[in-house]
Each structure stands twice: as C-alpha cells, then as structure tokens.
Amino acid sequence: MSHPAFLRAAVTAVALVGAVSCGKKAGDDGKGGGTLKLGVILSLSGPFADVAKQIQGGIKTYMKQHGDTVAGRKVEVLYRDSTGMAGEVSKRLAQELVVTEKVDFLTGFGLTPEALAAAPIATEGKTPMVIMNAATAIITSKSPYIVRFSLTLPQVSAPLGDWAAKNGIKKIATLVSDYGPGHDAEAAFIKAFTAGGGEIIDSVRSPPQNPEFAAFAQRIKDAHPDAVFVFVPAGQQSVAVMKSFQERGIAEAGIKLLCTGDLLDDHQLATIGDAALGAISTHHYSVAHDSPENKAFLDAYRDANGAEAGLPNFMSVAAYDAMEGIYRVVQKLGSGKIDADKAMEIFKGMSFTSPRGPIMIDPETRDIVQTVYLRKVEKANGELRNVEQQAFPNMKTPAPAPGGEPPRPPGGEAKGSAEPPKEPAKGSAEPAKGSGK
Amino acid sequence: MTAAAGARAAPSTGLPDDRWTRWDTALWLAPIVAFAVFSDRLELGRDVVIAALFALSLDIVLGYTGVVSLGHAAFFGLGAYTAGLLAHHGWGEPLTGLVCAAAVAAVAGYATSFLVVRGAALGQLMITLGVGLLLHEAANKAHALTGGVDGLGDIVMWRLAGVFRFDLEGRTAYLYSLVVTFAAFLLVRRVLSSPFGLSLRAIREGMARMPALGVPVGRRLVAAFTLAAALAGIAGGLQAQSARVVTLDVLSFERSATVLIMLVLGGAGRMYGAFIGAGLFMLARDYLARKDPVYWQLWIGGLLIVVVLLARGGILGLVETLRARRRTP
C-alpha cells in the first residue's frame, strides 16, 4: 500500500474524532429525574419465551392495578430480548440500558445465565438489579446491587428432601436440568434427603436446551426407585417431562413423582393433564393459595392480560412483587436520580404480604425469605390445582459457606469451590405442620 | 462445491491489488466516526467489529479458498475460553491473552485441517459441523472448567498496555477491538494478495488442476485453515476480554451459521464483504430486536431472503454488478 495515502487517512481520522467528540461533549447531559426507566431483560424469543410472557404478564398486572406513575414519575418499561441462555447478549443489553438509556433499575432476568452475566454491570453502573425469576443461589452474591423477589432452588428443594425422608420414601433417583438452578436443586435435595436417612440410587442431568426426555425416563424406570425427584425449567420442558414419564409408565411402575413447583407450574398444569394427579411438589406459590391478596391478584391478572392469557404462575407473582418493591423504593426516594446505595438500603428488610403469602428481603443476602408449601395435585371443580398441604414458613436461602465463597454445586464455575449448599438456616427449616393448608 | 456456489456467485476477478485507495480510507473512517458520533452505543459497535473480524477469518477459508465450514465458531469459542480462563485465573493482561487465544485456536485449526482437507464440499460441511458440536458439548460437560451453560464469569481485565482501563461505556474495548481488527485486516490483505493468496484462489477455482501447476493443494489448505482459525481465535479472545463473560453460545452452531450469513450477505471472497455483512446484519438485528423484541427474527429472515434473491454475491456483488453495467451501457 502507498504510505503517504495511508498516513493522510490516519491524520484525517484523528482530526475527525477530535472535532466530533468536542462537539458532542457540549450537548451531553446527565440522567433525567422525570420518567422512571425500567430496563427489563428477558428471553422474549426462543424456547424460553414462556418465562418472559409470564413475567411480562406480572409487570402488566401490577402497572394496570397501581398505575403507571409513581411518586409523580411516569414509569417507562424498556423490554430487551436476551434470546435465551446467552449471557453475552444479556450483558451487552444491560450495559446499553445503563449507559445509553440510563435506566433507574435493571430487572427481568428469567434465566440464571442472563442474571450472572449482567451482575458486573449492576456493580459498575451502580444500578439496582431486581431479579424476577432466575433462581440459582449464588446470584445475589455477585453484586451488592442485586435483590431477588423470586425464589432460590435450595430454598424450595431442601424441605422436599426432608419431607420425603420422613414419609417412608427410601430410594430416590434425581433428574435435574444441567445448569446452575438444577445443580442447586439436586445438591439441596440430596443433602436433606440423605441427612434424613434416604438413599440416592441414581442422579441424571438433562441438557438445559432442547432436551429429549424419553431416554432419561427409561433410565429412571430401570433404576426402579421409590420416587423420582425432578427439576427442569418451567414451561415447555415441564410438559415434555410429564409426557415422557407418562409414555414410559413411570407412575404405573410405582415410582412416585416429587418435584419443585417448576414442573407443575399452574399455567401448564391444564396442558399436562391428569398425568399430574397426585404429584407432590414444594414451591412458594400456587394459584390455589387461599388469601384475599391472591384473589385480588388473580382478578387483576385476568383483567390486565385477558382470559386467553390463562393462569399466572410463580413467575408472574415474582414480577408483580418485584414491581411492588420497585414502586416502594421510588416512593421513598422521590424524584431525581435513583441512588443505588439508598435503594438497596430500602430493599433490605422490606416485607409485605404477597399473593403467595408473607415475604421479606433478607437484609444480609438481599435474597427472599418466604413460606414454602408442600402441595399435591388434586382436582377441584374439574380443574387441576396444586393444593397446599403443609407450610414451611420463613424459609431462607442457605447461608453462604464460610470463607466468602458462595454455596455452589460440585464443579461450579468459581475457582476451587466444591461445597454443596449449607443446610437451610436453623430454626427456619422446621416444618410447621398444619399452619398452611 | 455446490453448497458454496451460491455463496460465491460471481467472485471478483482480476489480479489482487492491495494499494490503499480513497475507498479504503472512507470505509475505515466509518468506524472511527461512529466512535465519536455514537459514543453511547459502543457496546454494539464493539460487537460489530468483532463479528467483522470473525467473518473475515471465515472469508479466508470460504470466500478465498472455497472450503465450506459450518463449525467456525469452534475456533472463536476456543479463543474466547482461552482468553476468558486466563483472566478468570488471574492473568488479566489483554494482549498476551489474545496471543494465547490465537495460538490455541491455531493449534486446533491445524489439527482439524487435516480432517477437513480430506473431504469434498459436503464432507467438509459435516466434519466442521461435527467438530463444532463436539467442542460445544465438551465445554458444556466441563462445567468445573467453563461454568457450562451458566457461563464463565469473574473475568478481571488489567489495564490495556498498563494505561487504559476497560470502562463501562466500552470506549477502550471498542478501540482495542478496532485496532486489533484493523491489524488483522492488513495482515489478511497482504497474505491474500501474495502468490500464496493467489494460489488459494486458484484452488477455489479449480482444485483438480492445481497439482499439475505445482501447487501443493493439501498444504495450502492446511495453512489457510490454520490462519483462519487463529484469526477466529483472536475474535473470540476480544469478545471474552471486552464482554468479561464467556457463555456456551460462543461455541454454538448458531454462531457458526450467523457468521456464514453475515459473509454471504456482505459478499464472500471480497475482503470488505465481511465488514459490510457484519455491520448490516448486526445493526439490522439490533434495530429490529428493539422495535419488536418478540418477533424480530421473522423480519431478519425476510431481509436475508430479499438480499439473497436480489443481490447475488451479497451487497458487494450487487455493487460490482451495478458498476459493471454502468461501464458497458
């Protein structure tokens, strides 16, 4: 190449940048205190779109019920599509929402990889990040600006392991989705179950994306346990698991189904059909929960989303509660830029009665503390419902292991740590028989 | 060859000419102007630049040599995980990280190339696809090392050249990616204009004749494939270092397919095709996903069909056709 021409090009370039960026700086201004911007990162397209739909439904319900202005500020919701379990996309979107859109809150986060990837942005950009679903235990430890309104899998899996051991189940096989939440669920369940004297005879993990469950179902049938414990992400996969189990005759083989509520999520229960009857699960929300708050929520959900949207599930409820949390923070901080540190102080210890029951944000971990219910699928008025049988109030997420390392499944991503989650906080894991229904 | 025929319809003819022209200046000024004007969208800009480098690396094998690859993300992913793991375990120096990323990808590319040169077009397709899928599953299974689907986080980068911090606005990452990509571009351009580059084009045009002319076809293909893999590794390394997170999708089939689409869109075998294709695709995707976060893929699909039907040889192919038509009225 001819060098003078190249040099000239370089000089022009430098001059241009100088000129344009000078012109640009003059018109730069800070974050406006007028509208309240919420950046919502969700997997709006692809196989996990169901999750996004539920969360959108929850947000819509809350805003229809409580108005789209808070403390005199108009609430603007900016949806961004993370395309699925693609952390890099989610991270870029979070960065853009913080840098370009100057959002006051980052929220959404249906899937663990989305939340983990975006966590550093919350820290660097000093923006509160409100988790509406992603349920791996370690997420809140990844940034001091993360607060979670959904659940963690150890929180809901451990009571089930405990219950199984106490109710005459001796041998169990586990089937979990092979990513953070699945590892968490597996570790917490196994720990509680074996501590109660049970035996795990097989543990299989299914791919988190596009799995085919027939082979897993067959393997479980061949192992012939007393019961099988299952966690897969709610949505399409839960239906697929139930269909495979039905085809392979898991129930006929006398194998009981135990699972987290993800598998029997209220929205999908009608699709799953009678195959779900009698299944035992633990979770924090059921549409059958009998409380005035839940009745009001269900009515508002139908009102905001239409009857054809079907039933809400635990994700809609978490999104609904997260919005309540955000509104409360804004009401306290008033107009002007949301200060992340002040916002987190308000989130810490926040408590109110959600459609799912009483909830509280743990001031230590910024994670949710809530009642977990043991439920059984029954038919009421011709419709399948997760009917609450027993309540475990004030369930915390297991505390981080000593040494600052968060609890994680064996072979987790952080260096050197292979500690399974610690036992649920003492005193809170005791089943409180009869306090729920 | 048939599979590649559509992608390479009417490749540009004539002897290579790597003199620096006004067009080059104009095209390279674009990202620099963009830096100043769109200073709040540098994240996207960085991804465009990295995608362009990745597409350029594929262009070496697909556009210039005529080897079809459906698993090019394997090398991108290897580079990303190499750079990511180094920084994750405490070595956050960007440039050496990038060199390591290139080296690992090059070694993998060299090893794979012997499999690839054995096959014809369909065989190449299958082998590259297989290698890509294998690596994807391996990274998924090696959860302890890679973090599996949850991704590899906690990547701490040191200051670039000891001076420039990787800032939240992404200025450092953008300029860093741009400079590396420009350097890679100069290298690729030089290599492809050399007699070696000419022999690659000759292989594309008539592989059977080349041995008769004294060209060691196998060795040339191995060299081209290795170079392409190394550059893909650099692109992956840049991505890991600037995004500071590596997730499994760096190795996904979708990434291999997307880069192929970008190249076809811009025009394969045309040097700037990779840049134009990557820019157009990424910007269109961003715009559409913003306008319609749920059904944007529908519009992207429509756009691709229109471009492939109306512009043979991609955007640059269309430009060439129009210019040729003007010259001969």
Per-residue confidence at A20, pLDDT binned at 50, 70, 90?
Answer: very low
Q: Does B120 touch chain A (CB under 8 A)?
A: no
What are the Cα distances from residue A95, in Å, to A326, B88, B158, B168, B234? 20, 20, 19, 7, 23
Beta strands across the sheet bearing A73-81: A69-70, A73-81, A36-42, A105-108, A129-131, A146-148
CA–CA dist A114, A48 (Å, integer): 12
Same domain, yes or no: A133 and A47: yes
Number of domain units in chain A: 2
pLDDT above 80 (res A426): no
Residues of B in contact with A79 (CB under 8 A): 293
A110 and A81, same structural domain?
Answer: yes
For the purposes of burial, counting CB atoms within 10 Å of the CB of A11, is it exposed (0-12), middle (13-18) or buried (19 or more)? exposed
Across the A/B interface, how many CB contacts are shorter than 8 Å? 147
Chain B CA closest to residue A82: B293
Mean pLDDT calculated for residue range B288-297: 83
Phi then psi for residue B118, to 5 deg, are: -75, -30
Using alpha carbons, select from B253, B258, B231 the residue that is nearest to residue B131: B253
Chain B (12-41) residues lying within 8 Å, Cβ to Cβ, of chain A: 18-21, 24-25, 28-29, 32-33, 35-37, 39-41
Joined together, the tokens standing for residue B311 give: 């512009």
Q: What is the mean pLDDT of chain B?
A: 88
Helix (H), strand (E), coil (C) string for B312-329: CCHHHHHHHHHHHHHHCC
**Region label for B14, one of left (φ > 0), alpha (ψ between -120 and 50) or beta (otherwise):** left
**Nearest by CB to A21, which of B20, B21, B39?**
B39
Residue B185 vs residues B22, B53, B272: alpha-carbon distances, Å: 17, 8, 9
State how far the Cα of B211 lies from the Cα of B217, in Å rounded to an integer: 7
DSSP string, A336-402: SPPPHHHHHHHHTT-EEEETTEEEEE-TTT--EEEEEEEEEEEEETTEEEEEEEEEEEEEPPPPPPT
Domain that holds residue A181: 153-283+371-395
Q: Is residue A402 part of a domain?
A: no
**B262 in any annotated domain:** yes
A17/B36 CB distance under 8 A: yes
3-state helix, strand, coil in chain B (%, to 5): 75, 0, 25
- For residue B88, the chain A residue with the least C-alpha distance is A415
- Does B56 fall in a domain? yes
- E strands, A195-308, are 199-206, 227-231, 256-260, 280-283
ipTM of this predicted complex? 0.77
Q: What are phi and psi of A414, to 5 degrees?
A: -70, 150
Q: A319, A240, A245: which is closest to A47 by C-alpha?
A: A240
Do B43 and A95 lie within an 8 Å CB cutoff? yes
Residue span of the structural domain in which B71 resides: 22-282
Residue A165 included in any domain: yes
Q: Do B149 and A209 touch, CB atoms closer than 8 A?
A: yes
Q: Cβ contact (<8 Å) for A20 and B33?
A: yes
Q: What does the DSSP 8-state code read for residue A196?
A: T
Q: Is residue A299 part of a domain?
A: yes
The mean pLDDT value of chain A amounts to: 84
DSSP B180: H
pLDDT digits (tens, 9 = 90+) for B206-215: 888 888 888 8
B321: in domain: no
Query: For chain B, what's the residue count?
Result: 329
A167 by DSSP, 3-state: which? coil
Same domain, A173 and A117: no
- Residue at A428 is within a domain: no
Interchain pair A117, B41: CB under 8 A? no
Q: Given an 8 Å threshold on Cβ–Cβ distance, is B152 in contact with A413?
A: yes
Same structural domain for residues A166 and A267?
yes
Q: How far is CA A9 from CA A17, A19, A426, B21, in A?
A: 12, 15, 69, 10
My answer on whether A163 and A262 are in the same domain is yes
Do A169 and A263 belong to one domain? yes
Contact A300, A67 (CB under 8 A): no
Does residue A9 belong to any structural domain of this protein?
no
Section A47-59 average pLDDT: 91
At residue A407, the pLDDT reads: 39
Asked if the Cβ–Cβ distance from B293 to A6 is below 8 Å, we say no
| A-proximal residues of B, 218-257, CB under 8 Å | 239, 243-250
Residues sharing a CB contact under 8 Å with residue A366, sequence separation 6 or more, in sequence order: A140, A144, A146, A147, A148, A344, A347, A348
Task: Note whether residue A17 is domain-resident.
Answer: no
Pairwise CA distance, residues B276 & B313, whole Å: 12
The pLDDT, as a whole number, for residue A416 is 36
CATH classification at residue B232: 1.10.3470
Going by pLDDT thresholds of 50, 70 and 90, the confidence category of residue A6 is low
CATH number at residue A335: 3.40.50.2300
CB within 8 Å: B168 and A414: no
Contact: B249, A124; criterion CB under 8 Å: no
- pLDDT at residue A403 greater than cutoff 60: no
Q: Does a structural domain hold residue A12?
A: no
Q: Do B24 and A9 touch (CB under 8 A)?
A: yes
Q: Which of A301, A413, A359 shows the shortest CA–CA distance to A148? A: A359
CA atoms within 13 A on the CB side of A381: 1
Q: Closest Cα partner for A392 from A203, A197, A155, A222?
A: A155
Task: Test B25 with A44 for CB contact under 8 angstroms.
Answer: no
Interface test with A, best of B54, B150, B250, B255 (most A CBs within 10 A): B150
Do residue B33 and residue A79 have CB atoms under 8 angstroms apart? no
Last residue of a domain, one of A358, A380, A395: A395
Is the same domain home to A137 and A238?
Answer: no
Nearest residue to A160 via CA among A232, A230, A251: A230
Q: How far apart are the C-alpha atoms of B135 and B115, rounded to whole Å? A: 15
Say yes or no to pLDDT of A17 above 90.
no
Does residue A114 belong to any structural domain of this protein? yes
Q: Is the torsion defined by CA of A8, A13, A18, A23 positive or negative?
A: positive
State how many domains chain B has: 1
Residues of B in Cβ contact (< 8 Å) with A87: 150-151, 245-247, 249
In a domain? residue B313: no
Residue spans of beta strands (DSSP E) within A125-177: 129-131, 146-148, 171-177
Distance CA A150, CA A315 (A): 7
Same domain, A142 and A262: no
A383 and A236 within one domain: yes
Residue B197 has pLDDT above 60, yes or no: yes
In a domain, B5, yes or no: no
pLDDT at A88: 84
pLDDT band at B13 (very low <50, low <70, confident <90, very high): low
Residue A5 has its nearest CB partner, among B20, B239, B245, at: B20
Q: Does the pLDDT of residue B9 top 70, yes or no? A: no
Query: Parallel, antiparallel, or unpaired: how do β-strands A368-380 and A351-354 relate?
Result: unpaired
At B61-116, the pLDDT tens digits run 999 998 888 999 999 999 999 999 999 998 989 999 999 999 999 999 999 999 88
Element housing A161 (H / E):
helix A153-166
Say how far apart CA A325 and CA A333 lie, in whole Å.
Answer: 12
Which of A97-106, B101-110, B320-329 shows the lowest mean pLDDT across its residues?
A: B320-329
Tell me: the pLDDT tens digits for A179-203? 889 999 999 999 999 999 999 999 9
pLDDT in tens, B155-194: 888 988 888 888 888 899 999 999 999 999 999 999 999 9
**A414 contact partners, CB below 8 Å, separation of at least 6:** A138, A405, A406, A408, B154
Task: Report DSSP letters for B133-151, one per residue.
Answer: HHHHHHHHH-HHHH-GGG-
Identify which of A5, A92, A413 has the shortest CB distance to residue B153: A413
B146–A413 CB contact, under 8 Å? yes
Q: Are residues A263 and A386 in the same domain?
A: yes
**pLDDT 10s digits, B225-283:** 999 999 999 999 999 999 888 988 899 998 999 999 999 999 988 889 999 999 999 99
My answer on whether A341 and A386 are in the same domain is no
Cβ proximity of A229 and A189 under 8 Å: yes
* φ and ψ of A395, to 5 deg: -75, 125
Instruction: Pick the more confident residue, B4 or B27.
Output: B27
Please say whether the beta carbons of A73 and A308 come within 8 A.
no
pLDDT value for A4:
56
Give the single-character DSSP code of B61.
I
Query: Does B1 reside within a domain?
Result: no
Which of A295-299, A381-385, B286-290 has the highest average model confidence (pLDDT)? A295-299
Number of other CB atoms surrounding residue B183 within 10 Å: 12
